[in-house]
Structure 1
Amino acid sequence: MTNSTRDSLIKRPFMDKKHYPYGFARSGDFSIKEAKILAENGSVIAALVDGKLTPETDQDMRFIAVAHGETEPASPEEKVWLKYQKRINRPKAASIYGSKKVALTESDDDGDTADDTDIVLDDD
């Protein structure tokens, strides 16, 4: 891509309204320093990782390698980017109340005789 695209990405703060609607600093997931690093560098890193921006420097190549898990993160920017990726890609928490669907098993469907899985209590 062109330098004007890179320059515009550098000037634009990185925001993720879907996962962090109130900003990174107010989320509780990131420290103030981490939120600042992510806001300043996230647009360029995201464009590099998504392939929307061609890597021009060794640092750009390193960002891509770290994002793909080929290299361990060393700089604060790399560490914060991986932390951000782990946060947005974590599994969703299940409800403590269970699901709204009631699962029927085969023993619930036939409804006639007791089989080996039914519990029978004798009153003696």
Structure 2
Amino acid sequence: MKEVKMSVITKEQVTRKPFADKKNYPYGFARSGDFSINESKLLQAHGSLFAALVDGKITPENDEEQAYLESALGHREPATPQEKAWLKYQARINRPKTASIYGSKRAATQDVDDDDDISDNSDLDIDLDD
């Protein structure tokens, strides 16, 4: 029989690489204009940990990580700069998308009786036979 090794992700594996969101921020957090330099650094340093905790890939190992998870899930207010940066990031990527004026449907016009807007020009006599 073969032994089946379960792939357990450790905290060190998760936090080894800086966090990046190529889909929503292809040029990085610092160049987006959404985050300050400090917030960008915090997201790069702690974002992978937050994402792994929220996705359930790792379980909190200490009180700090438990607090991160509770804050990320909205169970308590963010207390640390890392938590505030993560919640700001989540608010940015989950905001409603704005529609393009070129791709949206034309706004419905009000039903207005056009006859009321046009003045009666029956008193003008135009003689075209001259």
Q: Same fold (TM over 0.5)?
A: yes
TM-score, reference length from structure 2: 0.75
Q: Who is 2:65 aligned against?
A: 60
Which ranges in structure 2 are unaligned for 5 or more consecutive residues? Answer: 1-6, 123-130
TM-score, reference length from structure 1: 0.78
Structure showing the higher helix proportion among its residues? 1
The alpha carbon displacement at 1:77 in A equals: 0.4
Q: Who is 1:119 aligned against?
A: 113
Q: Who is 1:28 aligned against?
A: 33
The alignment's C-alpha RMSD in Å is 2.3
Distance 1:121 1:40 in 2: 67
Identical counterparts, % of pairs: 58
Q: Who is 2:77 aligned against?
A: 72
Which structure has the bigger radius of gyration?
A: 2
The alpha carbon displacement at 1:64 in A equals: 1.2
3-state DSSP class of the match of 2:10?
helix
* Distance of aligned partners of 1:61 and 1:118 in 2 relative to their CA distance in 1, 3 Å threshold: same
Q: Who is 1:38 aligned against?
A: 43
The alpha carbon displacement at 1:16 in A equals: 0.2
Q: Which runs of 4+ in 1 moved over 6 A?
A: none
Q: Who is 1:93 aligned against?
A: 98
